[in-house]
Structure 1
Amino acid sequence: MKKTILILSIFILNFCYGQQNIDDLLAAGINDAQRFTSDYLRPASDGLMHSMNNGWFNTAKSKKLFGFEISLIVNSAFVGNDNKSFVLDPTNYENLDFRDNPGEARSVATAFGDIENVIVVVEGESTVPGLPAQDAEFELPTGLGGSNINFVPTAFLQASFGLIKGTEIKARFFPKVKTNDAEVGFYGIGLQHEVTSWLPADKLFPVAISGLIAYTHLDGNYDFTNTNIVQGENQRFENDTNTWLFQVIGSTKLPVFNVYGGIGYLSGKSTTDLKGTYRVQSGVISSETIVDPFSVESEVSGVRGTLGAKVSLAFFRINIDYTLAEYNALSFGLNFGF
């Protein structure tokens, strides 16, 4: 569990951003820092939204009245090579430029990249009349690619409960966990209805078809005030992520082994705020105190397709499926129920 909490802290609270770079980036000005951070973090935020929406179903057959199932679900969304870097064009920045070949656009690492030794320069301002300005020079952060990490994991408990004919309600939950510096909370709720349950020959029909609507929310914060990376107070990241999933599901209805699949549409938004007070020691805002510097947002939307299989043995079931989407994902579930 401790390892899971650490992983969630890394990806959900954007710890992979590297607090040591905050002072450097803010030296370039708030607008430049916000633009870079948005591009740098986007694969982590988008991958998270895809990962946390897997595992909502393992069959299209709805449970009978008062039937229930408790599941432990582990997901992993994979980050492709095209999301491990982005093109930084200095002409789109106010103060940031490359030390080598200034003015020319080049690829730099995202949170999942591995591009090192990229040095940028920020033209400083003279704080003493008659003395030259002191430029700020620093290396852009690399990502997790050097550690061969190219996935965003999530894990949680999920419960399903049969209601009226053909309808079941689902809820997923990761308990609010607080470590010394980080806090993460996660929950979701869904409603699945089996269309084929209304057919006259439902029991003879070999395939079940249903629809699913699900909402998922995640929030967390990471306080790095005590790291003393940059002077200030109450320094922290705050993340708020919300997603909607609309899914059509089909599955076989055999006693032991079944296959299932579905076509769905995912829509989500993740917002990460840099909060607190900052007193940057160099660059264009070295003489200012900054409060709540910036907020970055990332949105996902698109069609996804899922194919999986489930084995049922009495009250124990195991399932695995793979989803094709902007961020492909693998899901594994252990299920107990009646």
Structure 2
Amino acid sequence: MKKIITVTKLTFSILLAASISSNVKAQDVSDLIKSGPGDATKLAQAYLMPAFKGFGFGMNSAWYNSAKAKNLGKFDLRIQGTAAIVPSSDQFFRLGDLGLSSRTSFNSNASTPTLFGEDVTGAEITLKDNNGNNVSSFNMPNGLGFNMVPSPQIQLTVGVIKNTDISVRYSPKLGKSDDYGTLQVLGFGIKHEITKLLMPGKTEKIIPIDIALAFGYNQLTYDKSIPIEDQLDDKNSGSNLNQRVEGKLSGYTFDAIVSKKLAIFTPFASIGYNTAKTELGLLGTYVARTGAPTVTDPNATNDDKFTTFIDPVNIKQKDIAGLRGNVGFSLHLAFFRLYGSYSIGEYQAVTAGLGFGIGK
């Protein structure tokens, strides 16, 4: 059985559309789980933290590129990608800051890469049994060697009632659970112009800009079955222990936007509030050789002593909650559109995209 970091790292390489599977190094998940679900969760949480933040920040990006709402029945379809930039402070973490149990031993001053940290060997952790004897040791995984978290979006925006348009982000369930896992995206947004509410009458002459309020919600779900033949220590090999990874990332953003149409070019700026949260679990039954005395046969040797863990990793946390600012543009060339924007908040992000549409 590959170690938990192998599973979670592969999971998020798929979620983040990064082809990084070659960077995953094979180690035994039993090493990590032996110290207990609490330690396993803390290590996975710290290692994946910039992925959670970066993907959440990117997922909340690029819902709009103008304050001007589309007219009834007019639409555009866009394909775009956001890259959230991981700051240097989130590219590593210190093991001594995690509050790991006494069943782990490590250099308290050692730092180790996060997923989006340097591609160097991670810190060594030694695991102990109930009697304080060393059981095994392993190194935390390398980082990817780059600091941008990608987040792709496919979005359809349609004008509905006057001064209002709606946006939808959707993908059917993609992939196979027993291969690289299945992935599905669902999101919706709404934007409403308020220029005439703020300044009724001949507003275009008084205020030569468009003003709008916008809301967007995005959700990504992921699940992956772990192959039956990869049982821990080959114990219960062939049994279906329902081992799997399940994850859900969700977030919303609420923004005030101003823009000005200049022929085919429309610059915009906005400020708003966004949040993102993660629920991720390594679920099912896992059997690890621990040397613990809690076994059926008290006369068994250490090599035969196993401990069963159920749902050993469960991460539920809010990753981002705060203000963000955006500047960007849209460029209309007949049916074609070009988009670009820059966002700043807890992370920074850049977005670029293209699309096509009909009408204003």
Report the alpha carbon displacement of residue 117 of structure 1 after superposing the two structures with TM.
5.1
Match of 2:163 in 1: 166
| Alignment of 1:192 onto 2:191 | yes
Does the CA-based 8 Å contact 2:16-2:151 persist in structure 1?
A: no
Are the aligned partners of 1:8 and 1:154 in contact in 2 as well (CA < 8 Å)? no
Q: CA RMSD in A?
A: 2.8
Residue 116 of structure 2 corresponds to 112
Q: Is structure 2 residue 308 aligned with structure 1 residue 289?
A: yes
Using a 3 Å threshold, how does the CA distance of structure 1 residues 53 and 18 change in structure 2: closer, same or farther?
A: farther
Structure 2 distance, partners of 1:327, 1:258, is 25
Query: Contact between 1:30 and 1:293, CA under 8 Å: does it hold in 2?
Result: yes
Corresponding residue to 1:123 among 120, 128, 134: 128
| CA–CA separation in structure 1 for the residues paired with 2:90 and 2:353 | 27
Answer yes or no: is 1:74 the counterpart of 2:81.
Answer: yes
Q: What does the per-residue CA deviation read over 1:304-325, in whole Å, with 9 as the maximum and x for residues that have no partner?
A: 1111122112222211111112
Question: Would the alpha carbon gap of residues 90 and 337 (structure 1) be closer, same or farther in structure 2, given more than 3 Å must change?
Answer: closer
Give, as a single letter, the amino acid of the residue that structure 2 aligns with 1:290: F
Among 145, 150, 155, the residue aligned to 1:153: 150
CA contact (8 A) 1:17 1:41 kept: no
- Counterparts in 2 of 1:193 and 1:63: CA distance versus 1, 3 Å: same
Query: Is 2:163 aligned against 1:143?
Result: no
Aligned-partner SS, 1:154: strand
Deviates more, 1:71-80 or 1:241-250: 71-80
Q: Take 1:18 and 1:295, find their aligned partners in 2: how far apart are those partners?
A: 22
Q: Is the 8 Å Cα contact of residues 51 and 77 (structure 1) preserved in structure 2?
A: yes
Q: Call closer, same or farther: CA 1:187–1:164 in 2, change over 3 Å.
A: same
**Cα pair 1:213 1:245 within 8 Å, conserved:** yes
Aligned residue pairs total 323
Q: Per the alignment, in what secondary structure is the counterpart of residue 33 of structure 1?
A: helix
Deviations 1:133-186 (A, max 9, x none): 5522111222212xxx32221223211111222111111123321142310000
**Which of residues 324, 334, 341 is equivalent to 1:314?**
334
Among candidates 64, 87, 91, match of residue 57 of structure 1: 64
Q: Which amino acid aligns with 2:307?
A: E
In structure 1, stretches of 5+ residues that fail to align are 127-131
Aligned-partner Cα distance in 2 for 1:23–1:288 = 10
- Using the TM superposition, give the Cα deviation of residue 61 of structure 1 relative to its aligned residue in structure 2, in angstroms: 0.5
Q: Is the 8 A contact 1:72 1:333 kept in 2?
A: yes
Distance 2:312 2:11 in 1: 26
Distance 1:28 1:121, change over 3 A: same
Change (3 A) 1:193 1:17: farther
Choose which of 250, 253, 269 in structure 1 pairs with 2:258. 250
Question: Is the aligned partner of 1:324 residue 2:344?
Answer: yes
Whether the 8 Å contact between 1:12 and 1:48 is mirrored in structure 2 is no
Consecutive unaligned residues in structure 2, runs of 5 or more: 1-9, 295-304
Per the alignment, residue 183 of structure 1 pairs with: 182
Q: Which amino acid aligns with 1:37?
A: A
More off after superposition, 198-207 vs 160-169: 198-207
Counterparts of 2:115 and 2:122 in 1: how far apart (Å)? 15
Shift of 1:212: 0.5
Distance 1:277 1:67 in 2: 52
Please give the alpha-carbon distance, in whole angstroms, between the structure 2 residues aligned to 1:324 and 1:227: 45
Question: Per the alignment, in what secondary structure is the counterpart of residue 272 of structure 1?
Answer: strand
CA displacement at 1:64 relative to structure 2: 1.2
* Cα distance change on mapping 1:80 and 1:137 into 2, 3 Å: same
Contact 2:185 2:221 in 1 (8 A): yes
Distance 1:10 1:227 in 2: 24
Q: Deviations over 1:233-263 (max 9, x none)?
A: 3322111111110111111122211211111
| Alignment partner of 1:241 out of 249, 253, 256 | 249
Does 90-99 or 294-303 show the bigger shift?
A: 90-99
SS in structure 2 at match of 1:288: strand
- Residues 249 and 86 (structure 1), Cα distance of their counterparts in 2 relative to 1, 3 Å cut: same
What is the match of residue 208 of structure 2?
A: 206
Aligned residue number for residue 129 of structure 1: none
Distance 1:310 1:11, change over 3 A: closer
1:75/1:153 contact within 8 Å kept: yes
Q: Which AA in structure 2 matches 1:109?
A: P
* 2:87 and 2:347 in contact (8 A); partners too: yes
Which whole-Å CA distance do the structure 2 matches of 1:117 and 1:133 have between them?
23
Q: State whether residues 45 and 298 of structure 1, in contact with CA within 8 Å, keep that contact through their aligned partners in structure 2.
A: no
2:44 to 37, 45, 49: 37
Post-superposition Cα deviations, 1:205-255, rounded to whole Å, max 9, x if no partner, equal 421010001111110012232562625633221111111101111111222
Using the TM superposition, name which of 114-123 and 23-32 deviates more.
114-123
